[in-house]
């Protein structure tokens, strides 16, 4: 029996393509204070993703949780190759998108980013393999 596969319509925010194992949180994430920029690890002990590394994963969370330093942390994650392969969220605040845009200009690398509506967002589960195409505007979900 093969793995379940479905395509979810997405709104592209930052162009690109990335894929990886879904790292899913129902809680917002603040890159400032929740993520160590040197290791790419979630370090906030109260966050459900505590201890998880972002590198090579598709980070799925409903939204950012403020801080103007979010873009700096994302830029540092790109510079040190600790960044997630892509970001999928319900909404994107401007500070969340600036880091990947600057990363593309400075390092030639970015973090593809899309948003999904509530129904599609709710279909993604931990352990899913996600292929994020932020040019065509879709997320392919391959379930375990």
Instruction: Just list the catalytic residues.
Output: 67
Nearest to 60 by CA among 136, 142, 130: 130
For 9, 11, 70, 88, 96, the CA distances from 31, given in Å and listed in that order, are 26, 22, 5, 15, 9
DSSP annotation of 58:
E
DSSP annotation of 3:
P
Nearest to 99 by CA among 115, 114, 83, 85: 83
For 46, 94, 121, 124, the CA distances from 142, given in Å and listed in that order, are 29, 29, 14, 9
- In this structure, are residues 124 and 22 in contact, taking their beta carbons and an 8 Å threshold? yes
């Amino acid at each position: 029996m093969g793995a379940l596969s479905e395509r979810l319509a997405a709104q592209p925010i930052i162009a690109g393509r990335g894929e990886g194992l879904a790292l899913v949180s129902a809680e917002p994430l603040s890159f400032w204070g929740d993520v160590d920029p040197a290791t790419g690890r979630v370090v906030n002990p109260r966050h459900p993703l505590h201890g998880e590394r972002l590198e090579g994963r598709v980070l799925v969370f409903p939204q950012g949780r403020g801080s103007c330093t979010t873009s700096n942390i994302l830029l540092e994650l790109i510079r040190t190759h600790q960044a997630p392969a892509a970001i999928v969220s319900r909404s994107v605040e401007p500070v969340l998108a600036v880091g990947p845009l600057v990363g593309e200009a400075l390092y030639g690398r970015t973090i593809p980013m899309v948003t999904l509506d509530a129904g599609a967002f709710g279909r993604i589960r931990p352990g899913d393999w996600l292929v994020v195409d932020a040019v065509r505007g879709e997320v392919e979900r391959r379930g375990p």
